[in-house]
Structure 1
Amino acid sequence: MKTLLCAIAITAAMSTVVTAGEVDVRLSTREAYVGQPIVLQLAIMNSKDYEQPTLPSIDGCDIRSAGTPSQSSQITIVNGRRSEKRSVTMQYLITPRREGSFTIPALSLKVDGTNKTTDPISFVATKSETGDLLFVEIEGRQDKVFVGQPLDLTLKIWIKPFRDARADITLSEGDMWNMISKSTSWGGFAERMQELAENNQRPAGHEVLRDDADGNQRSYYLYEVNATIYPKRAGKIEADDVQIVVNYPTALGKSRSPFGDLFDDDLLDRNSSMSRMLQDDFFNSAFGNRLTVAGARPIVGNVSVDATEVLPVPLEGRPENYRGAVGRYRIITHATPDEVAAGDPITLNIGIAGNGPMDLIQAPPLSEDPELTKDFKVTDEPLAGYVQKDTKLFSTTIRPRREGITEIPAIGFSFFDPETEKYETVTSAPISISVTKAETLSLDDIVGNAHRAHADDSNTAVNDNLPDLNNHTASSVLVSQTVKRSFNDWWIMFVVVPPMIWMFAMLTRYQGTVYRQLPSFRSQKTQCLIGIDKASDQPEIDAAIIRYLLRMSRGNRKLEVFSSDTQTLKSHQSEAVGTLRLTGLYQVAGEVETFLTRNSDNAQASLEESKMKAAQLVEEIDTAMQSNQKSRVKAPKSRIGKVAVQRPLGLLFAFALVASAQTVSAADAVALSTTQQQALLTEANEAYATGIEKSQTDAADAKELFSNAGRKYQLLIDSNIQNADLFINLGNTCLQTGQLGSAIANYEKALQLEPNNRQAIKNLNYANTKIENASSVIKEESWSLRGWNNALVGLAGERTITWTLAISSVLFWGLLILRLYLRTAPVWQFALLPLSLLIVSGASVAMTQTNPQQAWNAVIISDHVSLHAGDGDQFDQVFTVESAQGQRVETLAQRGDWCMIKTTDGHTGWIHARDVEIIKTI
């Protein structure tokens, strides 16, 4: 059997003939006309995988793809032998632009992992005799122009009307225009032709007389296309890139359809000019007499060009700031803001208007202007601009180097005027500004304040208000931290153990009395079942059930004691059953009412049987109540209830937001080696130190150094280093460059890792005093109970308060234990002080360690933001936050590049995510 299967498999394999991958290349013809495309066909047979070849470059020819490759397959079975052929065919159009012999070089491509190379193929192109059928000229309106000067040109095309003598028909100017082939190259007139095509227009033609090749006047259709060019080199105007190809008719005939018998490349496009021509009224009449071009031949017109001379721009007298502008221009400038501190950025907008090629205009070299660079820090990179009508606009940032600068000097722009053939320089008007002293602190202030802040490890607060802007340079900055708890667990023993000892002593001293006074911790259901089990008669069973229902309905309210006589039970029975009905438990209420009524009517019922039924009823009531509580949704009755519902949802949402943000952060983390991290830290620290040294002499250079240091610190943070000192370093650079929002955000991040970092707290308080509209935030933090506690911790120190808590706890509970055994001792006179210290220190430690969830979790880092109704600029603005930088907000959602926030004033809307920084570390 196995032998038979093997034989069948071998036979099937031998009966299927599959040829290995082969490549075949061929041309549609080896003889072509100039301007008439020929087809290069590349076929790949029996290949599973292939790569398209790179189009070769052929001197004197244009080559382009004719569309996507076509695929075909063929299966043939002859005498039981099965053969299969698969092929992929690619076509390219090759258009010769001059007479001569051409060679298509060998094409290389990979087929089924093997490199295949085709053989070179040659063809010749001849020029179809134009005779007096077509004339092409390019006419200039100036005798001479300079390089870069606009030159108005007119392309003139004369086409002799075709006349069919047998049909006595002469084609119109529109019909003859449609004979222009798609292989025509328009050169510098292509943009104008594209503009006409987009508006469904064409150059209008009119009939004129002109001399033919023999000097005899003949009738021609003249078409004119106007364009403006800007010569890029000196010499004569060249028109090598202009070639007009006309498929000139040789005969007309009847067609079976309006699209029949087309030719050349027009066969590839049913929307071609020829196809449109054949659908007009002349060729497609209402009487059904349809005509088409029965024959045609391509003719290429020799383009003659006017003798317009292009002159080079002279070197003599060329200004140093000349950047190639030719024509006449003017320059204007505008700067914002006009009141800044030294080193702060000023946006300088430059507008240049003129009659030259505006897209070629370059901005004046500001970095080479000594009048500007002596007072301002200017970028030395070329400025990019955009053209708006006849004006090109540029924008850059300059920084005043020191205080006291009163104006931005005039900016010069040089150009060559072709009318006067001289160089001219125009200048803008000076701009008045006011530069005040930079807010960066001097080195003496920083070092002096740092010395006072770090002179010892005591918790004594520094009296002045200057921040500590010394950056951390140790390698420990590169070690990631987890959230540091600002306390140790040792103090818990002093808080928990003393009261436990007191309780044990009290239980020992008053064992009998205390036990009798202890409340029952059994559930209402358990107490009811015990009451039923201990009942001696039917009324006591009913009383136990009624008490259970009343306790469940009244909650923690005290239930008055009532007897089990019949009259009393009936008065409470209606309330108990009514409670079940109010909660929607109608069936259970009916069963309870039936049970209580039946028992009162049937006093002879067995007590044990009644106890069993009562216990079953209690279980049924408990199950129904639990099910009803799970399914019932209660509306909030107060703001407290609303907050209680919203807070878990808010926490859940915040957790999801943080988790997603952490995922993105981990994915976007920059991979840096330890050596790279250390090098970045060193470079950042050096830039920061140099910036401090220059802060008093050149504020612009100083802030640029601070910005450079900040970018390097940020790169370290992006490499997933979470360190409080690193965040403080970045916050200091942001504070020095005036980025108050980013400084506040980084100080807050440092405090998340080290809640009691003295430098972060000090610098954050300083930054808060510098932001506008920060009074509400500062007031909330300073004048609340927690604000007072923060002030107390800052004054006394957390260690002192913790030790006070431990010692006062031991003293107070020790005195209470002493009071148990020495009732006559005046304990309370001595216990009052430790009790007060215990309450104050305990509350302080509790508030310090709980670190409650802030009402905000992000900081705005832009000066002005607008809140939108949706996540896009197309949505309406609902609120504008002025002087927004540094204000705290709550992020509610994030979608793409937009973030939904809620301000401290309760305004909600969407802003760009780049305008806000979320306070998140690990």
Structure 2
Amino acid sequence: MVSIRFALTALVSATLAQSASAATLALSVESESIHANMPFTLSLSAKGFEEPPPAPPDLAIEGCEVTYLGVSPNVASSIQIINGRRSEWREVTFVYRWRVLAPAAGRYTIPPLQVAQAGLEANSRAASFDAAEVPSTEHMVVRMELPERPLWVGETFDATVEWLLARDVRNYEFSVPLFNLEGADVAPSPGGLGIRKVAFSAGARQVELPLSQSTFLDEGDGRSYERFAFDARVTLNRAGTVDLPPVRVVAQLRSGTSRDSWGFRRATYDLFRAEGAPRRLTVRPLPVAGRPPTFVNAIGTGFALDVQASRTVVSVGDPVELTVRLRGDGPLLGLSLPPLDGPGGLPSTHFTVPEGSVAGAVDEETSSKRFTFTVRVKSAEVREIPPLAFTFFDPSVGEYRTVTSEPVALSVGTAQLVGVDDVVAAPAVASQAARDGQPDVGGAIATLVGADMSLSAPQATLGTPWGTDDPRLLGALYGGPLIAALVSLWMTRSRGRRARNRTVRQALRTLERALDAGQPARQAVPGIVAAMRRLADVSGNDPDETSGLVEQLETRAFDPAVAAQQVPAESVAELRGIAQRWARRPAKAPAAALSIGLLATLVVLPDFAAAETSSIDAAREIYGSAIEETDRLRRVRLFANAERAFRPLAEANSDSPELQVDWGNAALGAQDAGRAVLAYRRALNAEPDNERARANLAWLRDRLPVWLPQPGDGALDSLLFWRERLAKAQLHLIGALAFGIGVLLSAPWPRRPRWLGAIAVPAFLVWALATGSALLSGDAYEDAVVVVDGVALRSADSAGASPTFANPLPGGTEVGIVEARDAWVRVALADGTRGWLAASSVQAVKPAIH
């Protein structure tokens, strides 16, 4: 009972005023068919234009009601980074939509349309469509259930489309004028558990409503119907009186039976329509008198406010993360909190609050909206987070009501300084509960207790883990066994040919000795004839080719007059020429030899660059001075100098995990959480089981704000558990070695035992697992770290775009790069939240290849 919807493209072909490849237009409808008094959506797709979208063309179809629904951009883009080179592709298609209603059956003409932008224009030719008249039927009833009372603007009310059927139905399409009103928001009823969902047109979008089914008996005519109900929640955002046209449905109902070409009975279906009664709604504006300042357009019933603090024991100036959860029976999507520094908020004399409105996230499961933001305590006199006020309009009684949250008690002390004793190695904090009362990272790291701040051993600083992903060395490891296997295969397959060639060469030498013996003809001819026949036999030539010459020699051998003489030189030369031609082989290299030559070019040993050990010693010396410094500010500055000294060395030696950890420790001591996380991630990228990097990264992650999404292990990581201990380069090396062993064991060596081939199967299995794990080790997005503290995640690549995340991102936030555009990158947080950041504030975990 699902209607078939598809795009009827190719209604018209686009013509261009300038270039056929510069811009195109295409018209389409999204209905199976077009019927009178049933609105349909007409779409115009424009390609080849740039943002912002061009102005929509003026569309007027004679005899039809046309309503412009808006334009939506469809952006298709991709970015690839291969060996440090980036390639980017992007295409924008602007889709303009109109709702069209043909009041009567007939043919209607769509006039030519034009879209223009900055001297570029595209034109479409005129097109036409036919609207069919559909008969009504008593076997189908449709009606709309709405509140009988006046409504308030912004009030959310229940609306039900009721459909009664007395016959089987196949395809159907609804027209609900209420859903298409300007300023109407339509959503499925919460908790609707229909047997399926059906799509309804709601302006420029589609909304899926749950379908519930029951049996209905009409007491008037005694007819039994199958009742289908579609429940929706509707919000009207404009005041006034609305006259609604009737709700309509067009459906294929069973009308009888017929026989098909095979003689079987088949049900037949015909198209019918049904329509309800017109309705009138009165929408009243909200009262202005008595409207409190804490009212932020919340309309509904039963709203409640709950506030929780991340910690209750703080010092003056410390950040406190507040989580405000708003619940109520009303629209939550567009709601915001009242100004936090206004009436009913937090006193500005006691708290520093975020500027502007705070974005929230709707939790569909709990029907609530969660707001998370950070405040700072400004006075030691503060004893609590005071109650926050929230005002809503209750449409059931037509009044404003205000609710408040419960106060949260605080214990505020004076600020504390961090001494040199805090910079020591200690066990990492294992859980969130174990660090209750410790400050969150908000740009500065209050204490280093629990972090392993020791440096690596000097001889291990530049050490690199075993393994390689160098294409030349891997090519040698793959190519060497393949060369050996091809040689073995070539020797096996050419064994018979080489034996034949040896036999031919031996027969040729026998003939050469007989020709050079210098004996009388009666003695020499029998040996020459036998040698020629033997050579013809082993070389596969026809001995009849020399029959005439052999007869002459045999006649000479039995002629008493010349039998004592030697064989004539002319005959010897002719026989030698024939023999050499028989024994000659084509001078071409076998395919195996050619493959060997190609593979041998891969066997090139990589070169390794030497690091500047003197620069490392200087950086280690600065780091040691920072550890010994007792003054906190001087210690932080020395750590910053050490970080700047380690940074270029770490960039140049990204495969040295101990050097990366030393750089991360220097950044950690310099209060730079962003570069510290970046360094530890790079260390684990080179050596996944590096204990210092693992412990310090976990320590840092545990001190990031609790509202910040943290990366976790997926199902694939749990399945391929060995990836936690083996780097990608190590997996490549294991795979190459296992492949080489498998190839060598399965090669057809002379006198090779058959059981060696069975041993090759586990080797190939190890190769598949190791190489597959290495190839799957990359995420869908390129891993990166935010290295600038307090950057806003924005909704577009513009400094003026609105934030998409409630709080600014702290340094050390781990993200995935989805797209790069000029000076901006689009990133994804661990929970899937996406937004744009300045490219200068993000660095990739895998450094660029220079």
TM-score (norm: length of structure 2): 0.39
Q: Which has the larger Rg?
A: 1
Q: Which has the higher helix share?
A: 1
Q: Which has the higher strand share?
A: 2
TM-score (norm: length of structure 1): 0.36
